[in-house]
Structure 1
Amino acid sequence: MSDEKEWQETKFQRKALQVTDAQARLMAQAKRLEPQSVPLMESCGRYLAEDINAPHPFPAFNRSAMDGYALIAADTAECSGGSVVWLEVIDNIPCGAVPSQVIGSGQAARIMTGAQVPEGADTVIMLEVTETRQTDGLTYVGIRKPQKSGNSITPLGLELRQGDDLLPKGRLISAGEIAVLAAFGVHSVQVYRRPKVAIVATGTELLEVHEPLQPGKIRNSNSPMLEVLVREAGGEPVMLDAIVDDLELARSRVQMALDAYDLVITTGGVSVGDYDIMGDLVREHSVEMLFNKVSMRPGSVTTAALRGGKLLLALSGNPGACFVGFQLFGGPVVKEMQGAEQPYLPQWTARLGSDYNKVNNYTRFVRAKLVIKDGSVWAFPADIDESSVTVTIKDSDCLIVVPPEEKGLAAGARIQVIKLPGEIRG
């Protein structure tokens, strides 16, 4: 180890954690936020804060599955050889109506799809295979084929019985959950509060998006990216002004943000340079550092700390590393604070689309594009995957996980990928 590297390691007291260990330390400090009640149609995209059980059977009555006639199956037993059994029609039941008659032997009721099957009837025959006649002011339905009990009836409680589990605490509410909640009359939903997440970029070199380029300067692209990522994870991003490389200013701004918001995410200033202020800040006595180095590429300098009971997550200023760091740490924390039952992104098995020859002592998370071909999922690594590269982020819908012991991977190899939010673009 060089003298310079030894000095840096001593100064910053960096001891690399495995990704899973760093995630565990961070998630252990992610405080679940308080529940709140919201109207049903404002609950989409939120996480349930309570288990919900079925308040009644579903369906709540025996329901006709088609337009036709409700009757007693045994009355059709004599249908054979073209003979017709005639049953008196004693009721007409549109959808939403309550039957007015009990069906007895020799009787039937006209019924519509979704209507309640009358008491006494045990089968429904479709309209198209019946015939009708009028005799002495009475209506009769003719049936030519024996019917089985239970035909075309959706029985009470087929989908759920009263008290059955409906939705578990921590479930992300989307269209299907909305439909179920509405069907059971749950018009006010208990969900966890969305965390307010302060986003702070650091670096004297940063320009605002609207500013013209200047020599030696770059536009702040990380903050807008993080704003979208926080929103995708269900949080409420709060954009704060960028901080120049000044430790006193950073200390003041970060403390104000921690006092006001549920979580603070910074980008930049976590490396080992002379002006990397976040690296200095998290080593102060008032801060409990959770980790400041992770065995991963990109983003090994990703740092997390606790100050005054609030979490501070410091991501790399390199766009690629910032993006990967959020997906592995920021997103899961934001979801955990909302009680998500699955805070981490899903991992899939896929095949490698092209050779990947980079070798590293750390686990590498490679931006890649998924393609479905021949019934299999393939992942194609980005042509340029350096931590400082921005453009390939937009084309990535997964991260290929390359273990440190691998000495290069050949096309076609089975690999693990982390599926990023959103649709497959390939």
Structure 2
Amino acid sequence: MIEYTDALKIIVEQALPLPSEKVEINDAHQRVLAGNVRIDMDMPPFNKSAMDGYACRKVDLGNTLQVIETIYAGKDPEKAIGKNQCAKIMTGAVVPEGADCVFMVEDAEMVDTDRIRCTNENTKNNISYRGEDARAGDSLLPDSTLLCARHLPLLAMAGATEVEVYKKPEVSVMVSGTELVEPQEKPQPFQIRNSNSSQLLAQLKDMAIKANYIGITKDDEALLEQTITRAFEKSDVLLLTGGVSVGEYDLIPGILQKLGFDILISKTAIQPGKPMVFAQKGKRYCFGLSGNPVSSFIQFELYVRPFLYALMRYVYRAMRVCLPIHSNFKRRNDARLLLAPGFINQNNEVEPVEFHGSAHIGGLSGAQVLFELPIGIKEVKKGDLVYVRFI
């Protein structure tokens, strides 16, 4: 049984990064940037007014000023500012030649129809200067940036309408289990609905990966071998659930070995989620996740998500913070890293939710975080700090 950090290191180190491709800027969200993005012009490209007001010479702030022009955003100034002159100017407009400050419209006092006076001689310059944000040739975004909504304006600012990104892996999802039926079916007394596939497909969608869903495969060795073989005809990665423990019908490890895969992980020291297989054959990878939905959810977050990002040359680090726990909490066995569902209350404390074990799907539905108890820790007291991982 391998501890979490050791298992993660083994898994991520096997990732052979994928090549790159070009996508349109509006399709770049949640993709991983391949190469630096450099801007092709100064930003701002001109001295720009930071507010609505009047552009003038600072030495003239105590004098009555003649308004010689109105400059709005998108207009090229027609006149230079001379002694005791000013131009009415809008936010974002080009500051005219000769002006070295803009005073706010709120500080302007009308003297005549075309003459004003500034009532605040200590006004700031209120100018965004050319190139103060970036100079032509500067790198705006480094290689391997995971492109989120806040990055897309920088791509647009750089004129990067076609973006080089690393390819997404082709992923297939299958579930195994003779007892399973699809959600639209009414289970017999000896059956249950398949809940794992919807969960995994949604987790992949969060990464902008549209997976190939294979469906349910019964616990039959020949059928499982055939389905796995076909899955890898079109996929880099196969995620399957069930059949990875030590029961008589847990057939997946043997089938993978028969197909030439090296099994690098067979058990991990996390709770829930101990039974898990990670296998590799060249540039093909298989995760055999637990058949229990809470376990498979956690295994995906801890192992699958970082691995898939590694294929795209992105180093994924989950958001983890320390918060006090709301009440005493204990467990019976401390041999594994515990990840238990909870939520953050109005006092910024972690409150555990009712949780019956790895098959209790409802335990996750009201959770915001997974809080951690390390190996060797059976109990924490109210107010003790625990690491929490946002989900």
With structure 2 as the length reference, what TM-score do the two structures score?
0.93
Return the match for 1:291 from 265, 268, 272. 265
1:345 aligns with 2:330: no
Correspondence 1:265-414 to 2 at 5 A: 265-284=239-258, 286-341=260-315, 343-374=316-347, 377-414=348-385
In the alignment, the residues of structure 2 paired with residue 69 and residue 224 of structure 1 have an alpha-carbon distance, to the nearest angstrom, of: 59
1:48 aligns with 2:33: yes
* Contact map agreement 1:36 1:190 (CA 8 A) in 2: yes
Alpha-carbon deviations, 1:226-284, whole Å to 9, x = none? Answer: 11111113322211021111122212211221221121001000000111011222333
* Contact map agreement 1:269 1:275 (CA 8 A) in 2: yes
In the alignment, the residues of structure 2 paired with residue 419 and residue 140 of structure 1 have an alpha-carbon distance, to the nearest angstrom, of: 59
In the alignment, the residues of structure 2 paired with residue 363 and residue 105 of structure 1 have an alpha-carbon distance, to the nearest angstrom, of: 77
Q: Which deviates the most, 203-212 or 42-51?
A: 42-51
1:235 aligns with 2:209: yes
Alpha-carbon deviations, 1:352-391, whole Å to 9, x = none? Answer: 22322213243233332222433xx322223224122222
| Counterpart in the other structure of 2:66 | 88
Q: How many corresponding residue pairs?
A: 390
Alpha-carbon deviations, 1:26-82, whole Å to 9, x = none? Answer: 111223222222222221222222221232222111111222221111123xx3xxx
In the alignment, the residues of structure 2 paired with residue 292 and residue 33 of structure 1 have an alpha-carbon distance, to the nearest angstrom, of: 26
Tell me the amino acid that sits aligned with residue 170 of structure 2.
Answer: K
| Counterpart in the other structure of 1:141 | 116
Query: What is the root-mean-square deviation in Å for CA atoms of aligned residues?
Result: 2.0
* Contact map agreement 1:360 1:404 (CA 8 A) in 2: no
- Cα pair distance change 1:122/1:163, threshold 3 Å: same
* Contact map agreement 2:103 2:126 (CA 8 A) in 1: yes
* Contact map agreement 1:92 1:109 (CA 8 A) in 2: yes
Return the match for 1:111 from 89, 111, 114. 89
1:334: how far off?
2.1
- Cα pair distance change 1:17/1:145, threshold 3 Å: closer
In the alignment, the residues of structure 2 paired with residue 110 and residue 403 of structure 1 have an alpha-carbon distance, to the nearest angstrom, of: 64
Q: Which runs of 5+ in 1 are unaligned?
A: 1-15, 80-84, 421-426
Larger of the two Rg values belongs to structure: 1
With structure 1 as the length reference, what TM-score do the two structures score?
0.86
| Counterpart in the other structure of 1:35 | 20
Q: Which deviates the most, 220-229 or 46-55?
A: 46-55
Percent identical residues:
30
Tell me the amino acid that sits aligned with residue 137 of structure 2.
Answer: G
Alpha-carbon deviations, 1:195-250, whole Å to 9, x = none? Answer: 22100101111111111110211111111111111111332221102111112221
Query: Where does structure 1 differ by over 4 angstroms across 4 or more consecutive aligned residues?
Result: none
- Cα pair distance change 1:322/1:143, threshold 3 Å: closer
1:152 aligns with 2:131: no
- SS of 2:178's equivalent? coil
1:121 aligns with 2:99: yes
In the alignment, the residues of structure 2 paired with residue 285 and residue 255 of structure 1 have an alpha-carbon distance, to the nearest angstrom, of: 8
Tell me the amino acid that sits aligned with residue 267 of structure 2.
Answer: K
1:95: how far off?
1.2
* Contact map agreement 2:271 2:336 (CA 8 A) in 1: yes
| Counterpart in the other structure of 1:57 | 42
In the alignment, the residues of structure 2 paired with residue 355 and residue 302 of structure 1 have an alpha-carbon distance, to the nearest angstrom, of: 30
